[in-house]
Amino acid sequence: MIGIRFPAEFRIERLTRNHRRKSFTTGQPSVDDWLINKALQQQDKHLSVTNVLVDSGEHLAGFFTLAIGQVDFGDLPPELIKKLPKRLLPVAVLAWLGISRDRQGAGLGRLLLAQALRDCYVASQTFSFVAVLLDCLDDRAKSFYQQFDFAELPGRSYRLFLNAATLQAMIEN
């Protein structure tokens, strides 16, 4: 995963008002609504950061949103919480990831996920967290993330996690 190479016609940048969001569609209304109506507002409030994948024609091909959060130690699997304090624990949150409907199936989702996880790893060098969490919208999304060692949280089949040690091993190896 260390070598993330987007095709030459793409670049990653932070979401701004200049990006043409209104025509973006993934086919998932909640994902589209997030990018079109909420992502920039949340970013302006310092609640999350959204990065967009832009093609050479200035069209949005995809995006991901990262945030920080907390999870109760009791919500994590026993093997992850050994020797951790019994309190709220810091986590990185992959809040959203979407690929434009006309770009799906081209491997861009894998690349955006890799970039998001790399960004989490880089952040972990300054702000520690015990895992990366995400919520899946459906079984298809869940299957996608499980390919990358994300596992279910106990009792929450659509909330997945990747522990920090696994993330570190993915990036450093």
- Tell me the HSE value of 137 on the side-chain side, using a 13 A CA sphere: 13
CA distance 42 to 32: 15
Q: Which residue has the tokens 């950061």?
A: 49
Segment 54-72 mean pLDDT = 96
The two three-digit tokens of residue 95, written as one number: 């809040």
Domain boundaries, the chain: 10-172
Strands (E), the chain: 10-14, 49-55, 60-72, 88-99, 131-135, 151-153, 156-163
Tell me the average pLDDT of the chain.
94
Kindly report, residue by residue over 118-135, the tens digit of the pLDDT.
Answer: 999 999 999 999 999 999
Three-state SS for 79?
helix
Q: What angle, rounded to 10 degrees, do the helices at 108-124 and 164-172 form?
A: 110
Kindly report, residue by residue over 125-166, the tens digit of the pLDDT.
Answer: 999 999 999 999 999 999 999 999 999 998 889 999 999 999
| 23 DSSP 8-state letter | T
Residue 1's pLDDT band (boundaries 50, 70, 90)? very low
| CATH code 3.40.630.30 for 10-172 | yes
Kindly report, residue by residue over 70-119, the tens digit of the pLDDT.
Answer: 999 888 888 888 888 889 999 999 999 999 999 999 999 999 999 999 99
Q: Which residue has the tokens 């990185």?
A: 92
pLDDT of amino acid 168: 92
* C-alpha distance from residue 130 to each of 16, 23, 54, 68, 169 (Å): 30, 37, 31, 11, 14
Do residues 91 and 133 make contact, with C-beta atoms less than 8 angstroms apart? Answer: yes
